[in-house]
Structure 1
């Protein structure tokens, strides 16, 4: 339950959705901001790389918006990744960008920052994902989702209070990220100070071939096919090129494991091994923090007494571009072991290398503490956002302003009723779409498969909403399904197909934990289409 002075409203009550662009008084040579999808930083929610274009270049084929509009990425995976931003500092107050943006223009009833933080919630994006339409790879959140979805609306004063707190949490998180980035730069700065640039060996250290500085060998994965199921699922960590490339220097995570059979056709490398990629990602490096297996697209290096793994790793990091340039250009770049064997490595005194290694490990420990702190900040931020949009965050403030809020809420109600925002849906609604009148869909029933007909018949008898994640076993017990292979998956697919045909309704609703889940139900007696659903929701 929301506080008494809050209201639950549709987005269309407080925003203009994808408003038409008024091109009057704009010359074709007017400069405007251009915002491709890549310009939105999904971590900070800011527009970071806007371009300058002339109006005549973008007038057609792009999405238009104005200063202070909120941009919401509607296509997968950008939507799930959190690409939401407030359009700020636009040239001449005008922007154009990807057609994969929804534009939400706040009215006087809602702050743009309040709207921004609400759209950025993982919970909201999860709900939006459940409303995706389209085919795989081209899934999008339709505009109609914002018309039927509701948002909690405090008074403007309380919105300002919520936004101020969430901004503070966001700023703390941003500063922590900047500190982590600066810490990462310390590695390279320290190396250059102690050893100079290894690409030019400007400190004139003696150079030795890499294969003479330690044991260098390729990983193993002898069985074909390499993805045979029996090779996996055991206790032996198995890493690949992506794990090395994304390791940030030390490999601390793995997503796959080998079974005993997998280990038998591979090799278990000890903790401390320097891993070097030679396929797809060329000369990316990472040091194992646990024993692990890897395929022949990764090379393992065990240092001799003359060098440390950390020193060799940073030398290779500086040489990475030069090594990659030696890879043949093809469908997938790769290098052979000989390329690594023959690399000439500057070798400073071991005592100096060890000093560098000790310093690097000290910096890494500090960075791990920062990462732990960052995780705590993320948990705190998530809690603040949840409490912010439920009313808990500002409960004490609300109690201290009770009389003023009640008066403002009363005025607010009258305004919302008399000035309800009208929204023009630009999406075309062809006759074959699921929201067609049910009586016009009789021919589809004759084309259904036996399973589709059984599921549709069961849905007509099912009381309430069917939530597959909770009710599927009970639902499937209402007719014989023992003969079906992968019965649950087939029934789930049939439900999706029936919803796509407009014979049942697919909806999103909160469970007991407040998480939004997908549900299915038969059409109510007072409705015959999804369009009717929207009309009913619009009257609430």
Structure 2
């Protein structure tokens, strides 16, 4: 329960249905339809319309309104325009009053709890709509306006991190698809004239629907794969699977095996048919009833190739044609899936493809797992924020963002260049440069109450490692495809010289002192002086501090552990207990 008073939205905002006739809409007016708002709040392909182009009346809105999609409210089409225009009458323009922040209202309405409430209050079987009256009746916790703005800023920053991670995943998806089409051609056009077979002709087992168990059977037993555990062909959350109590016969019948393929058969239309290749499993895992499983004949086709083909637009269109629509969801059946048309190149070509995308798939899995953690943390932040539990730490950050670490990648690159340029040459230049960032962050935390650029330090075997900076150096060495830094700027600013005699970061320019402030430079200089003359073992021993020892191997070191090592006067000055 929130510690702040609850008020109806109608008490602090107006739902303004300021109608304008189609004949009054002038050329050059920006128009927003539901199709122009993406779930999550971004706009897509908003454009100016011509006079007479729109056939029906619309609602006016300004950059002060919040746009709320009332049709199918489970889609959470809630957006904050920075422009004025007209919108579909299936969108409600909400104008916050003097006591309500638009940004705060937006985040509040986008919570899963409020989206579910809106969906429950909507009327209409096939086209559910939330009435303006129902929306106006929703209650909202009302803290002081300054607190609303603080909460919105925190959630905006957390959302940026999720958006950045999604962008990386999208780039990897595009890379994988580009490799696929470069080798095999666009699937529907099939320019290389590969044989085309029904999926049923490529399967040696299946198609089998999964297992349904009542909620009372969950809570222990065997892991069960659910549709939220895989995306774009990759299973991302095996260690977080729910467990269900099963008989030995059920485990045998519904048990998954490495190289099985699962495909979702019931979902909203945009996610219907998503599929994944099952990796090696350390224990028995079964699969849920809203998906089906099949196994391909590897004498004809490789599972990794079939999984990649299933992600194509050609398959998406086949799914769209076969889908059976129902309220809020769609479905495909075993006959539909077995009839999918698949291009089948020679196995030798498929093997080349499998080798080419192995590293891409590994990176996708890593980023998907990280995104899932961010999603969970974001939901936790939302829950705590609107209950009045999102307290600031003494460093001006919400405690919930300790685990997120708001990375300033621009400053991070400049810090890495600054250290690389000034660290004395030697066999362990790369190792010392990274350690200097850790020592500098501890110094900066003590002197200024914050990290230099929001780095996450991981407890690796040879001591703490600044993860974003470390990943960047691996990009330079060809061990990774991408980092959290701007990789083009990274390669223009640094290179890595590694052979039997040295492992050195070579700065191709000096750091930008506009981006890297004086206080940050002073902390970095202190760290360089601190470890410059140490041996490898001395640096390692110096970094194996209390924070490192308290952290599980290969896990992020919590900022709280670093704070605990501060001198007493520093903790008191920053009001850290």
TM-score by length of 2: 0.49
Residues 9, 277 of structure 1: alpha-carbon distance in 2 compared, 3 angstrom cutoff: closer
Unpaired segments of 5 or more residues in structure 2? 326-331, 397-577
Residues 191, 115 of structure 1: alpha-carbon distance in 2 compared, 3 angstrom cutoff: same
Matches within 5 A, 1:38-49: 38-43=35-40, 45-49=41-45
* Cα distance in structure 1, aligned partners of 2:337 and 2:138: 57
1:301 aligns to what? 296
Count residues in correspondence.
Answer: 372
**1:63, 1:96 within 8 Å by CA — same for their partners in 2?**
yes
1:347 aligns to what? 346
* Cα distance in structure 1, aligned partners of 2:134 and 2:274: 45
* Cα distance in structure 2, aligned partners of 1:296 and 1:375: 21
1:112 is displaced (CA, Å) by 1.9
> Is 1:67 the equivalent of 2:63?
yes
> Is 1:357 the equivalent of 2:354?
yes
2:73 aligns to what? 79
* Cα distance in structure 2, aligned partners of 1:388 and 1:107: 21
Moved more, 190-199 or 377-386: 190-199
1:168 aligns to what? 157
**1:213, 1:303 within 8 Å by CA — same for their partners in 2?**
no
1:402 aligns to what? none
* Cα distance in structure 2, aligned partners of 1:74 and 1:103: 10
1:250 is displaced (CA, Å) by 4.4
1:50 aligns to what? 46
> Is 1:373 the equivalent of 2:370?
yes
> Is 1:107 the equivalent of 2:97?
yes
> Is 1:95 the equivalent of 2:79?
no
Residues 261, 96 of structure 1: alpha-carbon distance in 2 compared, 3 angstrom cutoff: same
Residues 115, 122 of structure 1: alpha-carbon distance in 2 compared, 3 angstrom cutoff: same
Moved more, 274-283 or 175-184: 274-283
TM-score by length of 1: 0.51
1:345 is displaced (CA, Å) by 2.9
Residues 184, 62 of structure 1: alpha-carbon distance in 2 compared, 3 angstrom cutoff: same
Which structure would you say has the larger Rg? 1
* Cα distance in structure 1, aligned partners of 2:48 and 2:132: 29
Unpaired segments of 5 or more residues in structure 1? 400-540
1:177 is displaced (CA, Å) by 0.9
**1:67, 1:87 within 8 Å by CA — same for their partners in 2?**
yes
* Cα distance in structure 2, aligned partners of 1:295 and 1:108: 47
**Per-residue CA distance 1:476-510 (angstroms, 9 max, x = gap):** xxxxxxxxxxxxxxxxxxxxxxxxxxxxxxxxxxx
Matches within 5 A, 1:226-237: none
2:304 aligns to what? 310
Matches within 5 A, 1:432-471: none
1:69 is displaced (CA, Å) by 0.9
Residues 259, 86 of structure 1: alpha-carbon distance in 2 compared, 3 angstrom cutoff: same
2:207 aligns to what? 219
Give the secondary structure class of the aligned counterpart of 2:344.
strand
2:232 aligns to what? 248
* Cα distance in structure 1, aligned partners of 2:274 and 2:2: 51
Matches within 5 A, 1:379-398: 379-393=376-390
1:164 is displaced (CA, Å) by 2.4
**Per-residue CA distance 1:284-313 (angstroms, 9 max, x = gap):** 864344777999997642202x75321344
From 121, 125, 130, the counterpart of 2:115: 125
* Cα distance in structure 2, aligned partners of 1:2 and 1:268: 44
1:259 is displaced (CA, Å) by 7.7
> Is 1:116 the equivalent of 2:106?
yes
Give the secondary structure class of the aligned counterpart of 1:184.
helix
1:193 is displaced (CA, Å) by 4.8
Moved more, 268-277 or 372-381: 268-277
**2:59, 2:89 within 8 Å by CA — same for their partners in 1?**
yes
1:70 is displaced (CA, Å) by 0.8
Matches within 5 A, 1:115-194: 115-128=105-118, 132=121, 134=123, 136-137=125-126, 138=128, 140-143=130-133, 145-147=135-137, 149-155=139-145, 157-193=146-182
Higher relative contact order (CA 8 A, sep 6+): 1
Q: CA RMSD in A?
A: 5.6
